[in-house]
Amino acid sequence: MQRDPHNYGRAEESTGQPISPQDERVWAALSHASILVWPATGLLPIAPLIVWLIYKDRSPHVGFHALQSLWYQLAWLVIATVGGILGTLFSVITFGFGVFLVIPLAAVLGLVPFVHSLYAAYRVYTGADFRYPYIADRMEGSGRTL
């Protein structure tokens, strides 16, 4: 039987060996860019959770970025939910005229997490470190090791 020189990642996945720096950058960037799969998952941040579960023990760098992306996406999910409830209440209170303010505001604010996450993915992929301002500080302040 001939040995496969490329191994296609099978040994790394089963033994928990560290991954290469290039693969770290790719997986860290993908965890940030995973916000693009929100429409397919029903606006749930499942992809960064999967990346974190797979790579948290193999690469602290990927684990940090995947967990950071997960918390960032969860935060925006909460912000969007609260904003939707408040926007609906405002529209009802103003007898529907609030829609003319709420819909454009929601459209602009809805782009913020996508643009910010894609910028984070770009930065991480190019080798620069990226930290979401409030989220990364809270993650490090909890005393957890990633």
**pLDDT digits 0-9 by tens, 23-56:** 999 999 999 999 999 878 777 889 999 999 999 9
- pTM as predicted: 0.81
Report residue 138's pLDDT band, with 50, 70 and 90 as the boundaries. Answer: confident
Determine, yes or no, domain membership for 96: yes
Determine, yes or no, domain membership for 12: no
The tally of domains found in the chain comes to 1
Residue 142: per-residue pLDDT? 62
Range of the domain at 71: 23-141
Determine, yes or no, domain membership for 118: yes
Could you write out the three-class secondary structure of 24-87? HHHHHHHHHHHHHHHHHHCCCCHHHHHHHHHHCCCCHHHHHHHHHHHHHHHHHHHHHHHHHHHH
